[in-house]
Structure 1
Amino acid sequence: MARFKLALAATTAFTLMAATSAQAEEGMWTFDNFPAAKVNETYGTKIDAKWLNHIQSAAVRLSNCSASVVSPEGLVLTNAHCVIACAQDLSSAENDYTQNGFFTAARTEEKTCPGQSAEILTGISDVTKDINAATSGLTGEAFVKAMNAKASELEKAGCGADQTIRCQVISFYQGGEYKLYKYRRYSDVRLVFYPEYKSGFFGGDPDNFNFPRYNLDAAFLRVYENGKVVKTPNHLKFNPNAPKENDVTFVAGNPGSTQRLMTVAQLETNRDLLIPVSQLQRSELRGRIIQFMAQSPENKRIGTDVLTNLENGFKVFYGQQLALNNPAVMDAKRAEEAALKAGMTAEDKATFGDPWADIAAAQKDVGDLYFPYFFLESAPTSSSLFTTARTIVRLAKERPKPSTERLPEFADTRLPALEKRLLNPSPVEKPLDQIQLEFRLLKAREYLTADSTVTKLLLDKESPEALAKRLIDRTKLTDIAYRKQLMDGGLAAVQASDDPMIQWALKIDDEALAVRKQYEARVTGPTRIASEKIAKIRFKAYATSTYPDATFSLRLSYGKVTGWDYRGVKITPFTDIAGLYERATGVEPYELATSWKTAEPKVDKSKVFNYVTTNDIIGGNSGSPVINAKGEVIGAAFDGNIHSLGGAYYYDSALNRTVVVSSSAIAEALKTVYDRKALLAELTGK
């Protein structure tokens, strides 16, 4: 970890991300505001509306990642780490697909990924005026409620009752714009190909967010509808040849979240409160999961996905913390903020006041409410069975209300996906679930103290260990039929249930919702109102020459294949298959999968394995197609280098790099290592 710290702490010379214009290659651009003219002038490309529409029609948003359609028969390329949960859900003690891989020879062998969906964006419409009209003059909780109600109304009007279409109102520029995104939704997504864990995540946590890399972080899915393969004539062509240095590249995907437009006060809250607390908890939980996995081979099998996600998250936020602790980063943010304020006219000041001060005032309320809100309502790492219980309880409460009056996650347009998640047949590993629920309860008592009313509500007179064990042992929520019975029976059935997890969720729900209501009134509402004002100030100064923060919505970035220089050392942009064998030590995480050991005499070691580009991406982009100027897929983005971890807050073109698994490595692996010639033929059309 020491060298990671040095790497980020030394990033003091990054170009000031002035609000006036983005750096070259910076930006996660929406498809309706992509700077095609600038890109064409810079790179000699011929990007036009037809090119953009073609890419958009084949870009896929999965439940947790990005992907692309790469054949006329619904074949979808993504990362192996994006489907590890599917592989684990389909596994058993006898068939461990996570560790051993999942390989099909015929479509009859393809298996549905529980809970997975695939969405393709089909339309974008501006609904800013509608949202602004609905929220005009409102503050606090009333503002949030009106905004959510109007979004629900617009989504319902856009999609109706058609469950194959999903509509989503998305906020851009911190509330400066609202767009209605319309998706074609596929709920039957099947696993076609997933490599062994040792291949997809070769190098493990030590190599994560580093380069050089040697990962076959690629997997294939297929979309079905009504039991039949979906025909996809608008797919992207797969080019099995690696790009060359300085070739232009595009990444089409769904970056999850950035905070580049946050105010300095918000960034300070992240730095001083939110990230440190979450990191302490990730660190301790990681230790508990490692200890659990060491107890037996079965525990190791069921804990792999959880540990991988924890370790990845820990390193991500470690990098973000270092970025925010870097004086150069915060100075640049202060300068950016000062430039916006200095450009305000007297009329602007009269109209907008000081929205930065309003957001700064809300940060005190974040501090006051954060721990009750976190442990009662929003803790991200917890028992899946408790999450199921809470969702069933709230569904029973919310469904009788008009859609516009419900909590936003229970609006009519969101119910099909929610109900699918509740009836997801993925196996629940109770021992692992118990560890996570117990940990949440232990931390609640630790942070809130034993005398807190929230702690007493959560625990009554039980210990965290005893309560977690009782709830997990005795719940019937692992039974999908029982879940459906409760969902169909409504609030009466839920209240009459003797399931201890359901009863516990009922017990704490009123207080959890009350804390949520306070948070929305004192933090979310005031922050959103002030952010909209800042967005209008920014638009007045720079129009839409800048890009919005990431919101897990479809974006397009541009860049080129190139390495970087760091402290006098030049990092070349490519690795080859030969390097994989040289890096292998025979001991995890540098142990070769048996398939790669066997294939060594015949594999073409000169093929490019991984490469890096200057594309601007963030978490959520995993699985995104990397595309050349012709619109062909030449790889799948799967990571960033260590410097890119500050990408949540700024982009540094000198150091930030996207790490890609090359199409040449994918093709060579399918052909020589795994003997999936039919899959390769479908992929290449040969």
Structure 2
Amino acid sequence: MNPKLFAAASAAALVSFAAPALADEGMWTFDNFPSAEVEKAYGVKIDKRWLDTVQAASVRLTSGCSASVVSGEGLVMTNDHCVIDCQQALSTAEQDYVKNGFVPAGRSEERTCPGMQAEILTSISDVTGEINAATAGKTGGDFIRARDAAIAEAESAACAKDSATERCQVVSLYRGGQYKLYKYRKYADVRLAFAPEYASAFFGGDPDNFNFPRFNLDAAFLRLYENGKPARTPQHLTWVARAPKEGEPVFVSGNPGSTDRLMTVSQLETQRDLAIPIAQLQRSELRGRLLQFSAENAEHKRIALDTLTGVENSFKVFYGRQFALNDKAFMDAKRASEAELKAKVAADPKLAAEVGDPWGEIDKAQAAYAEHFLRYRQLETAPTTSDLFAYARALVRGAQERAKPAAERLPEFGEARLPLLEKQLLDAQPVEAPLEELALAYWLSKTREYLLTDDPAVKLLLGKESPEALAERLATTSKLADPAVRKALWDGGLAAVQASDDPMIQLVLRTDPAARAARSAWESQVSGPIDRAAEKIAKARFAVYGDAVYPDATFTARLSYGKVAGWTHRGQTVPAFTDFAGLYDRATGAEPYQLAPRWGQAQSKLNPKTVFNFVTTNDIIGGNSGSPVVNAKGEVLGAAFDGNIHSLGGNYGYDGTANRTVVVSTAAITEALDKVYGQQALLKELKAR
């Protein structure tokens, strides 16, 4: 990534911190999509029938990605990098589905993806009144507890009758300005139907990540099952094998993960000066350890590939965000937008009296953020790459929280959320002891480094052991890799957990009070005051701008609009399309530009002019991976898999002149399935009408 290139682009991203959205900007909810603006800009009519059809065919994956239903028999298209966890889980040292791809001969060979659930949004209802009533007059930790209890009650009540097939989730929109209850049809049996080789899906590797031109077959297919049979999905997108056209209006339907476009300036400054720099320091060291580990032997490279890819991707994402926040022009624009909203509030005495000074309240909370950040990060949110620790914490806290009344539990253990937690906890997945040892040693050493040796929590963690010795003991002697052991502890409840002699369970039992204390302090002094103040700012924003403002992303169903278009930067025009010929021109024979053997063998069969990847002006963010890119007819033209280098500041703003969504085309997928992979049955299903 070229930092000067990014800084120049981000200066133009004067995105609406509070004002109505600009052209092509916005991740809009389905119940507030600006159809009139789209028709005015692009001359296409997006009516309720179209919105309902696309919503019914859009899928959220619990792996953190998006997808789409593309046949009447439960076939779902997403990105390959969205199923790499599944490929890794199904692989062995003898059969590596990540390296070689998953190319079954038929449906009978489709394999269940452990821990994965697919969800399709069926309804949205407003529960703002109920949540606000429960939190009236409360602040700090009391506000958090009252809000979370009200949310848990609303979720449980909405899905009480059909919890086996439905999932309910209350979502905070506009930083607490609205609360909506999203109801999903869930599919707990999700099977891998096709995935290409890593070399084809991630051709160009980390150097090409967040860049364009690209030459990636970052596409894969899953199938939804119910009662052991492929699910019937009559509402699906229409598959077309044609290339998109320059300037064609397109829509991206997916689940963008999170954005911070509605943060105040003081919050952005804290991200710039504290949160991102510390996290990047840690990611860079973890990346180095993973690279060294991967270089030791072929098996280490295989088991670490997914984790390393994720760390490298996150490092580049936050590298771009840091440059956006370091750009004076960008921050000046944010300050101007914030000042504009404050001035409009001040001009309305009644509104000013109702709102008060929430910006000042958030400013004050930044000192508490700085005070508690390291402790909260190290004790409550880490280690993020250890499966054994995640299992142990879920078992310990699950046993403790399930013994409490529903209104008093931590939100992640609410009744409506337990089915997914149980699935992810109890599904059989491989746990690699060498990789666990690396992750645990890294976390333990960083916790001692940041909190210091004499900190009581560090003493509880390490005792008389070194981080390395403790990590080795935990990784090699814990039995939590066995799903039968996890199930016995989950079913046995608190008594079974407390009686367990598993070293990882004992570690969590010993240290969890300190982690809970860090979380409590964070909620009472940081997130509680900030969330409460953010609700007031949302009230002011609605009063001034109405619903012409879209909410920050929340990993819930959103729709963005735009067109197929390249861009020009510093006099250089980047075309909107790449083709198969470009793939072969770019190949060098060495990683990450090494062709998979199948592609080398198929070159003479392929049409070199087939559009491979293309770019659009759609506004997306992480979580949109796998989102269908559809036209005004509801035809799917591809799957979004990345953004360009300019889009890395998209967490904070959108610049329509340079931000681009990168898409793998259905034209390329169709020809590859036919001439590279011989997937004739899959093609027949996709083309069926």
TM-score tier (shorter): over 0.9
Does 1:203 find its partner at 2:220?
no
Q: 1:399 aligns with which of 399, 402, 418?
A: 402
Residue 86 of structure 2 aligns with which residue? 86
Residue 180 of structure 1 aligns with which residue? 181
In structure 2, what is the Cα distance between the partners aligned to 1:13 and 1:99?
40
Q: Deviations over 1:191-240 (max 9, x none)?
A: 01000000000000000000000000000000001101100000111111
Q: 2:412 aligns with which of 405, 409, 413?
A: 409
Q: Secondary structure at the match of 2:650?
A: helix
Does 1:126 find its partner at 2:126?
yes
Quote the offset at 1:402 in angstroms: 1.7
Q: 1:362 aligns with which of 335, 355, 365?
A: 365
Residue 6 of structure 1 aligns with which residue? 4
Does 1:575 find its partner at 2:578?
yes
Residue 510 of structure 1 aligns with which residue? 513
1:380 to 1:496, Cα distance in 2 relative to 1, 3 A: closer
1:495 to 1:15, Cα distance in 2 relative to 1, 3 A: closer
Quote the offset at 1:67 in angstroms: 0.1
Residue 339 of structure 1 aligns with which residue? 340
Quote the offset at 1:330 in angstroms: 0.6
Residue 45 of structure 2 aligns with which residue? 46
Residue 26 of structure 1 aligns with which residue? 25
Q: Deviations over 1:254-293 (max 9, x none)?
A: 0000000000011011101111011111111011011111
Quote the offset at 1:397 in angstroms: 0.4
Q: Deviations over 1:236-255 (max 9, x none)?
A: 11111111100000000000
Residue 281 of structure 2 aligns with which residue? 280
**1:61-210, aligned counterparts within 5 Å?**
61-63=60-62, 64-161=64-161, 162-210=163-211
Quote the offset at 1:488 in angstroms: 1.0
1:12 to 1:617, Cα distance in 2 relative to 1, 3 A: closer
**1:454-465, aligned counterparts within 5 Å?**
454-465=457-468
In structure 1, what is the Cα distance between the partners aligned to 2:383 and 2:654?
27
Runs of 4+ in 1 over 3 A off after TM superposition: none
Aligned residues of 2:383 and 2:440 also touching (Cα < 8 A)? no
Quote the offset at 1:539 in angstroms: 0.3
Aligned residues of 2:383 and 2:439 also touching (Cα < 8 A)? no
Quote the offset at 1:379 in angstroms: 2.2
Letter matched to residue 229 of structure 1: P
Q: 1:371 aligns with which of 374, 377, 384?
A: 374
Higher mean C-alpha deviation, range 634-643 or range 348-357: 348-357
Letter matched to residue 151 of structure 1: I
Aligned residues of 1:175 and 1:528 also touching (Cα < 8 A)? yes
In structure 2, what is the Cα distance between the partners aligned to 1:17 and 1:196?
38
**1:519-558, aligned counterparts within 5 Å?**
519-558=522-561
Does 1:421 find its partner at 2:401?
no
Q: Secondary structure at the match of 2:475?
A: helix
In structure 2, what is the Cα distance between the partners aligned to 1:496 and 1:454?
22
Letter matched to residue 598 of structure 1: Q
In structure 1, what is the Cα distance between the partners aligned to 2:19 and 2:398?
46
Quote the offset at 1:393 in angstroms: 0.3
Quote the offset at 1:12 in angstroms: 5.3
In structure 1, what is the Cα distance between the partners aligned to 2:489 and 2:456?
30
Does 1:329 find its partner at 2:327?
no
Residue 449 of structure 2 aligns with which residue? 446
Structure 2 gap ranges (5+): none
In structure 2, what is the Cα distance between the partners aligned to 1:146 and 1:617?
33
Aligned residues of 1:30 and 1:556 also touching (Cα < 8 A)? yes
Higher mean C-alpha deviation, range 508-517 or range 24-33: 508-517
**1:633-652, aligned counterparts within 5 Å?**
633-652=636-655
Quote the offset at 1:346 in angstroms: 2.1
Q: Secondary structure at the match of 2:239?
A: coil
Aligned residues of 1:124 and 1:179 also touching (Cα < 8 A)? yes
Aligned residues of 2:75 and 2:224 also touching (Cα < 8 A)? yes
Structure 1 gap ranges (5+): none
Q: Deviations over 1:598-622 (max 9, x none)?
A: 0011111110000000000000000
In structure 2, what is the Cα distance between the partners aligned to 1:482 and 1:342?
60
Letter matched to residue 552 of structure 2: D
Letter matched to residue 191 of structure 1: L
In structure 1, what is the Cα distance between the partners aligned to 2:645 and 2:11?
16
In structure 1, what is the Cα distance between the partners aligned to 2:84 and 2:392?
25
Letter matched to residue 543 of structure 1: G
Q: Secondary structure at the match of 1:591?
A: coil
Quote the offset at 1:592 in angstroms: 0.4
1:382 to 1:83, Cα distance in 2 relative to 1, 3 A: closer
**1:378-397, aligned counterparts within 5 Å?**
378-379=381-382, 381-397=384-400
Q: Secondary structure at the match of 2:626?
A: coil
Quote the offset at 1:382 in angstroms: 3.5
Letter matched to residue 52 of structure 1: L
Q: 1:625 aligns with which of 628, 632, 643?
A: 628
Quote the offset at 1:647 in angstroms: 0.1
Aligned residues of 2:13 and 2:653 also touching (Cα < 8 A)? no
In structure 2, what is the Cα distance between the partners aligned to 1:630 and 1:382?
42
Letter matched to residue 72 of structure 2: P
Residue 499 of structure 1 aligns with which residue? 502
Does 1:610 find its partner at 2:609?
no
Q: Deviations over 1:576-616 (max 9, x none)?
A: 00000000000000000000000011111110000000000
Letter matched to residue 207 of structure 1: D
Letter matched to residue 217 of structure 2: L
In structure 1, what is the Cα distance between the partners aligned to 2:294 and 2:11?
42
Does 1:246 find its partner at 2:247?
yes
- Structure 1 vs Structure 2: percent identity of aligned residues? 62
Aligned residues of 1:372 and 1:454 also touching (Cα < 8 A)? no
Q: Deviations over 1:306-360 (max 9, x none)?
A: 1110110000000000000001111011001000000012222222211001001
Quote the offset at 1:453 in angstroms: 2.0
Quote the offset at 1:471 in angstroms: 1.2
Quote the offset at 1:20 in angstroms: 2.5
Residue 319 of structure 2 aligns with which residue? 318
In structure 1, what is the Cα distance between the partners aligned to 2:442 and 2:359?
37
Q: Secondary structure at the match of 1:240?
A: coil
Question: What is the TM-score with the length of structure 2 in the denominator?
Answer: 0.98
In structure 2, what is the Cα distance between the partners aligned to 1:167 and 1:446?
41
In structure 1, what is the Cα distance between the partners aligned to 2:291 and 2:179?
43
Q: How large is the Cα RMSD of the aligned pairs?
A: 0.9
Letter matched to residue 243 of structure 1: P
Letter matched to residue 547 of structure 1: Y
Aligned residues of 1:561 and 1:612 also touching (Cα < 8 A)? yes
Aligned residues of 1:382 and 1:440 also touching (Cα < 8 A)? no
Aligned residues of 2:10 and 2:646 also touching (Cα < 8 A)? no
In structure 1, what is the Cα distance between the partners aligned to 2:330 and 2:389?
39
Residue 259 of structure 2 aligns with which residue? 258
Q: Secondary structure at the match of 2:440?
A: helix
Q: Secondary structure at the match of 2:257?
A: coil
